[in-house]
Every structure is written in structure tokens, then in C-alpha cells.
């Protein structure tokens, strides 16, 4: 599967996950969303989406198209779900961008003697 096809499939799965979450009684599958956003990052979403709106906007448009009935009445729920997906993607992207051996540990301050 080509990277573009892989990205499209992942976006479709994210859309379905979001649609499921905004339905009455629906739940957001956080673990699955983490997997999908990591997949987007690994497959170069940032490179393929240059010049396009953020992931959250793309998902909102897809949700409104794929599941229009709950989307009409659940604008705040959509915002919450796509905001969470965007955060997960940003976290996955930061992780992918780190070079091997990089750490977040601060260096200890030098003492004056």
C-alpha cells in the first residue's frame, strides 16, 4: 500500500472512530486513536498535508460528510473529539521527530565555586 493510500485509510478509520464517539451513548476509543495518529505520523502526514488545514479541520469536514445526522446536533462533541485527536497526533509527531538518544532531561546547573 502506498503512503498516500495508507494515510487515506488511516484518515477514514479516524473519521469512523470520531463518528462512533459522537453518537448517543458512543465512547471515544482513546487507545485506537493513539494507534491511528501514530500511524499518520509514521507515514508522513505532516509532509503530505503541507498547505492544507490542520488535521482537526479535515476530520471535522469528514465527520460532517460521513455522519451528518449526529454531527448536526453535536458540534461541541465534534470539537472535543477532534481536539483530542489533534493533541494525540501532535504528541506522536513530537515523538517521531526526536532523534535517537534525545532526552527531555534538563542538564544540572553548574555551581559557582
pTM across the whole model: 0.80
Cα 98 from chain centre = 18
Q: Are 36 and 42 in contact (CB under 8 A)?
A: no
- What are the CA-CA distances from residue 32 to residues 36, 42, 73 (Å)? 6, 15, 25
Residue 29: per-residue pLDDT: 95
Residue 60's pLDDT band (cuts 50, 70, 90): very high
Cα(22)–Cα(48) distance, rounded to whole angstroms? 28
Residue 112: per-residue pLDDT: 46
Backbone phi, psi, residue 34, to 5°:
-60, -45
In which residue are the cell numbers 513530537 written? 94
pLDDT over 50 (residue 111): no
pLDDT tens, position by position, 68-84: 988 888 999 999 999 99
- Residue ranges with strand state E in 22-73: none
Cα(37)–Cα(31) distance, rounded to whole angstroms? 10
Amino acid at each position: 500500500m502506498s503512503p498516500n493510500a495508507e494515510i487515506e485509510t488511516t484518515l477514514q478509520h479516524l473519521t469512523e472512530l470520531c463518528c462512533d464517539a459522537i453518537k448517543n451513548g458512543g465512547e471515544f476509543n482513546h487507545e485506537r486513536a493513539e494507534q491511528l495518529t501514530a500511524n499518520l505520523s509514521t507515514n508522513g502526514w505532516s509532509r503530505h498535508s503541507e498547505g492544507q488545514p490542520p488535521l482537526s479541520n479535515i476530520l471535522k469536514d469528514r465527520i460532517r460528510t460521513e455522519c451528518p445526522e449526529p454531527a448536526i446536533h453535536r458540534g461541541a462533541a465534534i470539537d472535543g473529539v477532534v481536539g483530542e485527536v489533534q493533541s494525540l497526533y501532535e504528541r506522536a509527531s513530537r515523538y517521531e521527530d526526536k532523534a535517537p538518544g534525545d532526552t527531555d532531561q534538563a542538564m544540572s546547573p553548574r555551581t559557582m565555586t
